[in-house]
Amino acid sequence: MILLTGGTGFISSHTAVALAEAGLPCVLLDNLANSPESTLQGLARITGQAPLFVQGDVRDAALLDSLFARYPIQAVLHGASLKAVGEGLAQPALYHDNNVSGTVTLIRAMERAGVRRLVFSSSSTVYGNPTLQCLPESAPLVPLNPEARSKVMVEQILHDVAASHPDWRVLSLRCFNPVGAHPSGALGEAPRGQTLNLLTVMAQATAGQRPPLSIFGNDYPTPDGTGVRDYIHVMDLARGHLLALQQLLQAAAPPDARHRVLNLGRGQGISVLQLLQAFEQHTGYRVPHQWAPRREGDAACWVADVSAARQHLGWQAELGLAEMCRDAWRWQGRA
């Protein structure tokens, strides 16, 4: 059985679908701070079974001990983290408490239970504002805000932990820009409060649920002047997390590979304007938009070198812009 922290969050909930399809049972833990309980109904509709869910916080050591005692957990997917850059700047202690202390609490509970297989959902945010066109995992880590720093700290802590005991096997997956939704339309990104992620904003603006999309900046050093990102369908990410968990459950790792860091992206840079054109093409709707100044803290370009994930995980993204746009639009139109 797999424990999914942040179980009702965007990445963990979609990974729960992939696990169910692979016949791997899981228990979802979430404090519902940034995702609704209705995610569970969406999961039940897709998998045909009510998910095993525990409402609680990853910083609650006693709760974690009880979960490890109650369920035959073999590995953990750790996806419980706060991820809004602006909120992290305003409340750094909250971010470090949740993201860093939460991970340490989880690791200590895992050690008490003798469970030493962990997949950590990290983020491309660790690369800061890179100058490289294509980012290998060895690119410099330049976290620019508390949220990004918390991700780097967690990776470093995991590195120390993995080195401390021969049974530890850890994979940190640096997810690039997750977008899209489950193709059924029953599951998608459902944060509390306003989301700032581009494709969701685009879909909501098109549906008339918010003002026109503001395109932040037209003077970036990119081919059309707008920001470039490596957008990846959340179901591709879910499959990547599944493969990572399956790999950890297999044979012991060589000492130099107890903690491996892998980028999960498509390796293809897409600008804001390109995504807008793709959205219009694949949904048949016009996206109302306007130009706006750059958003503070935004990088010009984040694109993954994805060769390591292909080599070590046998994983590569399969879904393209058409699926990302259609699934995001289907999810947005569910109401």
Would you say 83 or 258 has its CB closer to ligand UD1? 83
| CA separation for the pair 169, 118 (Å, rounded) | 6
> Which region, judged by CB under 6 A, interacts with ligand UD1, from 25-33, 69-77, 91-99, 294-302?
294-302
- Of 68, 216, 279, 315, which lies in the binding site for ligand UD1, with binding defined by CB under 6 A? 216
Q: Is residue 298 within the footprint of ligand UD1 (CB under 6 A)?
A: yes
Shortest gap between Cβ of 147 and ligand UD1 (angstroms)? 6
Complex with ligand UD1: residue 184 or 195, whichever CB lies closer: 195
What is the biggest distance separating any 2 CA atoms in the chain, rounded to whole angstroms? 55
Nearest distance in Å: CB 13, ligand UD1: 15
Count CA atoms closer than 13 A to 324's CA, side-chain side: 28
Q: Which is nearer to ligand UD1, 85 or 313 (CB)?
A: 85
* Minimal distance, residue 327 CB to ligand UD1, in Å: 16
Nearest 10 degrees: CA dihedral of 22, 23, 24, 27?
120
Region 20-59 residues binding ligand UD1, contact defined as CB under 6 A: none
Number of residues that bind ligand UD1 (CB under 6 A): 20
CA atoms of 122 and 135, how far apart (whole Å): 15
Choice between 53 and 216, CB closer to ligand UD1: 216
Distance CA 153, CA 156 (A): 5
- Residue 209 three-state SS: coil
Whichever of 51 and 130 has its CB closer to ligand UD1, that residue is 130
Window 142 to 171, contacts with ligand UD1 (CB under 6 A): 147
Q: Looking at 104-239, which runs of residues are DSSP E strands?
A: 117-123, 169-175, 177-179, 213-216, 228-229, 231-233
Window contacting ligand UD1 (CB under 6 A); options: 15-23, 63-71, 192-200, 280-288: 192-200
303 touches ligand UD1 by CB under 6 A: no
Tokens of 179: 């977008």
d(CA 202, CA 208) in angstroms, rounded, equals 10
Residue recorded with tokens 């202690």: 93
In eight-state DSSP terms, residue 95 is H
- Alpha-carbon gap, residue 257 to 246, rounded angstroms: 16
Q: How far is the CB of 128 from ligand UD1 (least distance, A)?
A: 10
Scanning 182-190, 295-303, 311-319, 327-335 for contacts with ligand UD1 by CB under 6 A, the matching segment is: 295-303
Residue 234 binding ligand UD1, by CB under 6 A: no
Give residues 83-142 in contact with ligand UD1 (rule: CB under 6 A): 83, 85, 123, 125
What backbone phi and psi angles, to 5 degrees, belong to 270? -125, 130
| Token pair of 136 as six digits | 């290998």
Residue 91 or 197 with smaller CB distance to ligand UD1: 197
How many Å apart are CA 319 and CA 80, to the nearest integer?
25
Residue 292: its H or E element: strand 289-292
Closer by beta carbon to ligand UD1, 39 or else 125: 125
Q: Which is nearer to ligand UD1, 272 or 324 (CB)?
A: 272
Q: Is 233 a residue that touches ligand UD1 (CB under 6 A)?
A: no
Does residue 179 contact residue 328 with C-beta atoms inside 8 Å? yes
Name the residues that contact ligand UD1, by CB under 6 A.
83, 85, 123, 125, 147, 177, 196-198, 201, 213-216, 227, 229, 272, 295, 297-298
